[in-house]
Amino acid sequence: MVAPAERVGKKTSQSIYTGFDRMLIGDSWRLGRSDQRIRDLDPYKGDTLLELASANAQDIDDAYAAAAAAQPGWAAQPPAVRAAVMERAVAIMTEREEEIVSWLIHESGSTRLKAKLECATTSAVMREASRIPYNVQSRVLPGDVPGKECRVYRKPVGVVGIISPWNWPLHLTSRSLAPALAAGNAAVVKPASDTPVTGGLLLAKIFEEAGLPAGLLSVIVGSGDGVGAAFVTHRTPRVISFTGSTKVGRHVAELAAEAKIIKRVDLELGGNSPFVVLEDAPMDQTLDAAIFGRFLHQGQICMSANRFIVAEAIYDEFTQRFTERVRAVKYGNPEDEDTLVGPLINQRQLDNLLQRITEARQAGARELVGGKPDGLVLPPHVFSEVRNDMTVAREELFGPVAPVIRVGDEEEALRTANDTEQGLSGCVFTRDLERGTRFAQRMECGMAHVNDQPVNDLPNNPFGGEKNSGIGRFGGEWAIEAFTTDQWLTVQHEPRVFPKRASEVSGAASVGG
């Protein structure tokens, strides 16, 4: 492999594919110090894309130290400087799209459709981030002390630690990284071991080429077991932004609480999204959405339609027509233009899913569509007569399996939809939009959609969940809130008169006033 291009802040003729056997730490691309090595595999072909030495605790110290040193100067830059880096990053992604798409296909098992969508959503995140420097606003508040001016300064938190997953690695890293940088912070990223390039190293290359000053972004590659605790508990980051499973998210929150310096934690965790079909649903529209919302990226999406909850009156029609559609879904080679279902990310994910399928059969669910895996490609599966207490409905599947649950009426549909420990996303289909709106408002989830499938993420809207699906929100003004903090500062413009006895204290006076 060719060594990475030097940091020059301008376009190079070299492909941004190269140099990913090293990680960016501070101002240089270098090997990790650990003896452990990470093999980056193509989940469809099984080929080794690259090997790299894992980071260790010293690498984490170096990355956070560089970030802390670089951040004050970056925060002091005019908004136009930070916005321009984001705008150049968007332009680079546009120019390099085919390279990026190819990395997503070969490293994360993305189909070409999903990879192009991920490029588009990542660009949208960066484009939205280019507006953030102008939207970080301070305020002047009224106060009851004569001559006192009360100011509230919105300031960057300093350094942000970002832990990202393997399923939409480019987008889900950039969703935290771009707004954090745009708001004036530095960042250290730890991508998933399955996707070190698309989850971090590729973005480091893009921002390097866009002219991001040295030290502001480092990428630490290592397993969660190997470096996760040191990454989270380190004294430097003031915010840890984590996207991943509920189980790991709980552990991250526990580590952050036990750190010597308490830090804020934003968690976007697993989901069990209900796809509710009421008896008056527009059937063709509903079926189109059902196929996309369940099988895009093999169902490996936290907000993917995990359960289909269908009213009794149309259950048989929906199930029959949905099954026909699923049988026509193309699965296999992710590079083909019309493939919808490609490979699962690794053997562990496949084994877990096969276990859920076996349990569904044993519990009495009726398998309408199925098939044996070919490598890591699992054909789409459909189960009817599923009960909400079956494992196939209780757990996030993260694969191309669609359980269909029969309910009697709208109220039972709502109870079934809310009967889960997760609360990320959900949707409802009906011809009556006001009815759908009332239903969606009663859904116990952070995001609810009427007559659209649940896989939605718009960069200026709040993304996040309730219950065990997380804490905090991403996107727009919510991203600003996530990566900034308020400082109350007062200026006493005239000498203050302090009370000398209790009788001089008025009810309106502030503490000490």
Mean pLDDT, residues 379-389: 98
Q: What is the pLDDT of residue 506?
A: 73
3-class secondary-structure state, position 27: coil
Active-site residue, from 302, 396, 427, 444: 302
| Catalytic residue status for 99 | no
* 162 sits in which H/E element: strand 159-163
| Beta strand 466-467 pairing with 422-423 | antiparallel
How far is it, in rounded angstroms, from Cα 191 to Cα 200? Answer: 6
Mean pLDDT, residues 395-412: 98
Does the structure show a pLDDT above 60 at 9? no
Mean pLDDT, residues 222-229: 89
DSSP string, 204-273: HHHHHHTTPPTTSEEE----IIIIIHHHHH-SS-SEEEEES-HHHHHHHHHHHHHSSS--EEEEE----E
Active-site residue, from 118, 268, 396, 444: 268
Does the structure show a pLDDT above 80 at 108? yes
Query: Do residues 170 and 159 touch, judged by C-beta distance below 8 A?
Result: no
Query: Do residues 403 and 308 touch, judged by C-beta distance below 8 A?
Result: yes
Structure tokens at 82: 């930070």
Q: What is the pLDDT of residue 511?
A: 58
Buried b (16+ CB within 10 A) or exposed e, 124-140: bbbbbbbbbbeebeeee
Q: What is the pLDDT of residue 510?
A: 58
Percentage of residues in the chain having pLDDT higher than 90: 92
How far is it, in rounded angstroms, from Cα 427 to Cα 225? Answer: 36
How far is it, in rounded angstroms, from Cα 154 to Cα 25? Answer: 28
Please list the residue range(s) of the chain that carry CATH number 3.40.605.10.
Answer: 46-268+469-487
**Any idea how long the chain is?**
513
pLDDT confidence of 509, banded at 50, 70, 90? low
| Catalytic residue status for 150 | no
- The values of phi and psi at residue 102, to 5°, are -65, -40
Range list of H helices, 269-390: 283-295, 312-327, 347-362
Residue whose structure tokens are 């096969």: 354
List Cβ neighbours of 72 (8 Å cut-off, separation of 6 or more).
none
Q: What burial class does residue 424 get, using C-beta atoms within 10 Å of its C-beta: 0-12 exposed, 13-18 middle, 19+ buried?
A: buried
Specify the CATH number of the domain 273-450. Answer: 3.40.309.10
pLDDT confidence of 16, banded at 50, 70, 90? low
Q: What burial class does residue 506 get, using C-beta atoms within 10 Å of its C-beta: 0-12 exposed, 13-18 middle, 19+ buried?
A: exposed
Q: What is the pLDDT of residues 74-100, one digit of tens each?
A: 999 999 999 999 999 999 999 999 999
Per the prediction, the chain carries an average pLDDT of 94
Specify the CATH number of the domain 46-268+469-487. Answer: 3.40.605.10
Please list the residue range(s) of the chain that carry CATH number 3.40.309.10.
Answer: 273-450
Q: Rounded to 5 degrees, what angle do the CA atoms 396, 329, 293 make? A: 40
Q: What is the pLDDT of residue 7?
A: 34
How far is it, in rounded angstroms, from Cα 82 to Cα 183? Answer: 8
Structure tokens at 370: 């199925």
Q: What is the pLDDT of residues 426-480, one digit of tens each?
A: 999 999 999 999 999 999 999 999 999 999 999 999 999 999 999 999 999 999 9
Mean pLDDT, residues 488-513: 81
Query: Do residues 491 and 149 touch, judged by C-beta distance below 8 A?
Result: yes
List Cβ neighbours of 137 (8 Å cut-off, separation of 6 or more).
154
Structure tokens at 37: 């090595």
Percentage of residues in the chain having pLDDT higher than 70: 95
Q: What is the pLDDT of residue 12?
A: 40
Does the structure show a pLDDT above 50 at 24? yes
Q: Residue 180, Cα to own-chain centre: how many angstroms?
A: 14
Report the range of poorest mean pLDDT among 25-34, 319-328, 349-358, 497-506: 497-506
pLDDT confidence of 11, banded at 50, 70, 90? very low
